[in-house]
Amino acid sequence: MLLLSSTGPIKSPVGACATSVESLDIGYDTIVEGKARVVLVGGFDDFQEEGSYEFANMGATSNAKEEFKRGRTPQDMSRPTSTTRNGFMESQGCGIQVLMTAQLALDMGVPIYGIIAMSGTATDKIGRSVPAPGQGVLTVARENPGNFPSPLLDIKYRRRQLEMSRQQIKQWQESEVLYLQEEAEALKSQSPESFKVAEYIQERAEHIQREAIRQEKEAQS
């Protein structure tokens, strides 16, 4: 806030060693929901002897003695995506990422290092530790295998769908504006003295415009 003079929502996720992932997931949802255009996500982890001792008792962390016996160096002990993984490695540190809408990134000319297509979290039933491998992540899968490629991968198809949605939004907006005067006259007949036609039409027109913008954003998502 002090460095960027920012305004907007503040969310403080706490998920132990998964805090950074939860932070990114919440930041993604915040942008998609239209509550912010840019967010800072990340986490910080301290190293405490008590926690390290108990993680070792759980068998969640890598056993350095066993790793050295297998001829592995400290650089080889952290391999979470390998079938030979032997637990995670603890350390003190932090990591911060900047997420923003694609349009804002293009307008500002900032370097784009990646695009978040989907974000999600899931539990994995009972296990010796939270990061133990399991099937829970499959519950948030966003792709169904099929015999043919998804039409969503075809840019022409997506452009055609977007144009159709825009035409429907425009037709809805025009029809709503067309009946504004009729709505105003009907309401005025119920309370002719206090009802202000011009103010009502202006307020309704602004609402219709906001709703059209919202539908446009939804069509683009």
Per-residue exposure over 165-180, b if at least 16 CB sit within 10 Å of its own CB, e if not: eeeebeeebeebeeeb
Residue 100's pLDDT is what?
96
Q: Using pLDDT thresholds of 50, 70 and 90, give the confidence band for residue 93.
A: confident
Q: What is the pLDDT of residue 55?
A: 86
The predicted structure's pLDDT at residue 37: 92
Mean pLDDT for all residues in the chain? 86
Chain segment 126-146, per-residue pLDDT in tens: 655 555 555 666 666 666 677
**Tens of pLDDT, residues 18-31:** 889 899 999 999 99
Mean pLDDT (whole number) for 61-68: 90
Residue 89 has a pLDDT of 84
DSSP string, the chain: -TTT---S-------GGGHHHHHHHHHHHHHHTTS-SEEEEEEEE---HHHHHHHHHHT-B--HHHHHHTT--GGGS--TTSTT---B----EEEEEEEE-HHHHHHHT---------------SS-SSTTS--SGGGGG------SS--GGG-HHHHHHHHHHHHHHHHHHHHHHHHTHHHHHHHHHHHSTTT--HHHHHHHHHHHHHHHHHHHHHHHH-
